[in-house]
Structures are given as C-alpha cells and as structure tokens.
C-alpha cells in the first residue's frame, strides 16, 4: 500500500534519511519507532508530500506519488500530529467534518459520521460537537484530532506521535480505541513514536530507525527474539 524505495534526504548537506526501503502492507498497523532526531517524521511526511525526498521513490497503491497532484493525495490520507492543530474558530463537529466537506458529503452523512466518531473516541459528552477546541482538555483535543484524521474513512492514516504529551491513562485509553478502530476498519496506519512500549503495543509490525537508517523491521516478537545486532537488542530491551 505504501512503498518506500531507497529513500534519501539531506538537510544542509547532512544525511537524515539514508537509503530507507520499506513496504507497509494494506490493512497493516505499522509502527515506526526510534529516538528523537532519527528521521521518523521526515520519512512519514514524505507520504503526504510535506517533505520531498532527495533520492528514491514513494509509491501509494503502486503509483509514484511525485506524479500525483498534492491536494487530492492529501485528501485521501488522514494525518494526525502531536500538536493537534485544530481550527480554533471552528466547533469540534466542524473540525471533524473538514475533509468530508471538501469531498462534498451531504450534511446528513457528515452529521452521522461525526456522531459515530465522537462515540468511537469516547467523546460522547452531551453537546460535544458544538463546543470549541479551547473548552476541551488536551486529551479531548487530541481525540478530536484523531477523529478528524479518520473522518473521511481514508484507506491510509499517518500518525506522528499523536498521543505525545498526554497522561498515561488517557494515552492508554486512546491506544486501545485506535487499535480497535484500525482492526475494525482495516485502515492502513503508519504510526510514528519514540516510545518503544507504544510501538510494540500497537504495531502489527515495527520498524526501528536509528540515525536515518531503518535498522530492523519485523513483528514485535521478531525484534525481541531476534534483534539483528546489539544496538537493536539494547533498544528493544527497553520495551516491556
Ligand atoms: P524524528 O521525527 O525521528 O524525531 P525528524 O525526522 O524530525 O526526526 O528529524 C530528523 C533530522 O532531520 C533531525 O536531525 C532534524 O533536526 C533534521 N530536520 C528535520 N526537518 C528539518 C528541516 N526542515 N530543516 C533542517 N533539518 C531538519
Ligand atoms: Mg518526529
């Protein structure tokens, strides 16, 4: 579904992505994990063309995305990030409805979808859809960010530390909700985190990035049982 082929990226003459190749399969929850600065966000942002690779090809459904128009590409891909980025002057419902509206869904279809997502993400306090983001807790805002990313039922969702900066309980509850939604909808998710436990808990497969290189890819069990080297062993040892 998402294929990275020999991807390379430099910033100011420094290589930050070094010959990364990766296939994320359809319907898979893929967790890309690694320490801060290892290149995870840069790689993820190539899929919706917020970053352009200096070398290599990114394919979605077999098509080199460099040949596609950016706007339709982005509309077809959900994107949720740590800083949420909700529109402050729009209600929760309007925030969630952003992409469905761009796609021309009917009002009835949008309302139904908003209600369903509020339920799925445990945002079902009365009147939630008509509240403004500033009246929500940080955890609730992040849930709205996730709901917005899922709203138009995209086949691909990119998530960049979407649960960062949350207390452990809220985080765990969101992880459970997301995993359930992903299983049910068979959405392909590329999820970036620096948290080993989160990656191993969520990912059908995990890719470990270190210093711009993808050092190992496999199921959590494979990484734990058969790390390719001592460096991987040490990182994986940090996960429960
Ligand atoms: P991660 O998401 O794993 O923390 P990033 O992909 O954000 O890592 O960054 C990888 C490296 O690229 C870091 O050293 C970061 O400073 C650098 N970098 C990322 N974006 C830019 C940019 N727009 N300009 C210059 N350097 C950047
Ligand atoms: Mg990052």
pLDDT tens profile 171-191:
888 899 899 889 988 999 999
| Residue-wise pLDDT tens digits, 16-71 | 999 999 999 999 999 999 999 999 999 999 999 999 999 999 999 999 999 999 99
Q: Show the tokens assigned to 146.
A: 């996730």
Starting from the CA of residue 40, give the closest ligand.
1
Task: Please report the DSSP string for 91-113 in residue order.
Answer: -HHHHHTHHHHHTT--HHHHHHH
Pairing of strands 188-193, 156-160: parallel
User: How many Cβ atoms are within 10 Å of 112's Cβ, its own excluded?
Assistant: 12
State the Cα–Cα distance between residues 44 and 169, nearest whole angstrom. Answer: 26
Cβ(34)–Cβ(217) below 8 Å: no
Taking CB atoms and a 6 Å cutoff, what residues make up the pocket around ligand 1? 11, 16, 34, 36-42
ipTM score above 0.90: yes
Mean pLDDT (the chain, rounded): 92
Going by alpha carbons, the residue nearest to atom 7 of ligand 1 is 41
Identify the pLDDT of residue 83.
72
Q: Give one word for 91, left, alpha or beta, with left for phi > 0 and alpha for psi -120 to 50.
A: beta
Q: Which of 35, 42, 199, 235 to mutate to test ligand 1, by most ligand atoms within 8 A of the CB atom?
A: 42
Q: Which ligand is nearest to the CA of 14?
A: 1
Calpha distance 179→230 (Å, rounded): 30
Residue 3: per-residue pLDDT = 98
Q: How far apart are the C-alpha atoms of 23 and 193, rounded to whole Å? A: 18
Contact 228, 188 (CB under 8 A): no
CA 16 – ligand 1 centroid, Å: 7
0.90 exceeded by pTM: yes
pLDDT tens string 90-144: 999 999 999 999 999 999 999 999 999 999 888 888 899 999 999 998 888 988 9
> pLDDT for 133-159, tens place per residue?
999 988 889 889 999 999 999 999 999
Closest-CA residue, ligand 1 atom 26, reads: 11
Higher pLDDT, 7 or 173: 7
Most informative mutation of 11, 44, 213 for ligand 1 (most atoms within 8 A of CB): 11
CA distance 188 to 3: 12
CA distance to 50, 94, 98, 114, 154, per residue, from 132 (Å) = 28, 10, 15, 15, 25
What confidence score (pLDDT) does residue 161 get?
92
Three-state DSSP class for 25?
Answer: coil
Q: Collect contacts of 167-174 with beta carbons under 8 A, ≥24 apart.
A: 167/139, 170/139, 170/142, 171/198, 173/122, 174/121, 174/139, 174/142, 174/143, 174/146
């Amino acid at each position: 579904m998402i294929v990275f082929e020999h991807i390379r990226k430099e910033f100011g003459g420094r290589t930050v992505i070094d010959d990364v190749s990766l296939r994320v399969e359809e319907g898979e929850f893929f967790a890309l994990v690694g320490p801060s600065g290892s290149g995870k966000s840069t790689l993820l942002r190539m899929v919706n063309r917020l970053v352009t690779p200096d070398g290599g090809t990114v394919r979605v459904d077999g098509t080199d995305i460099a040949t596609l128009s950016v706007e339709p590409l982005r509309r077809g891909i959900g994107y949720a990030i740590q800083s949420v980025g909700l529109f402050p002057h729009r209600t929760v419902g309007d925030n969630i409805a952003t992409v469905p509206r761009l796609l021309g869904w009917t009002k009835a279809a949008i309302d139904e979808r908003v209600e369903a997502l509020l339920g799925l993400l445990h945002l079902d306090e009365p009147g939630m859809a008509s509240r403004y983001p500033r009246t929500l807790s940080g955890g609730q805002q992040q849930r709205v960010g996730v709901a917005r990313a899922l709203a138009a039922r995209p086949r691909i969702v990119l998530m960049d530390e979407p649960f960062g900066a949350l207390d452990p309980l809220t985080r765990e509850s969101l992880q459970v909700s997301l995993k359930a939604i992903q299983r049910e909808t068979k959405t392909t998710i590329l999820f970036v985190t620096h948290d080993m436990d989160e990656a191993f808990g969520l990912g059908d497969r995990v890719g470990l990035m270190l210093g711009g290189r993808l050092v190992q890819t496999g199921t959590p069990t494979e990484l734990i049982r058969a790390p390719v080297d001592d460096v991987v062993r040490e990182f994986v040892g940090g996960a429960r």
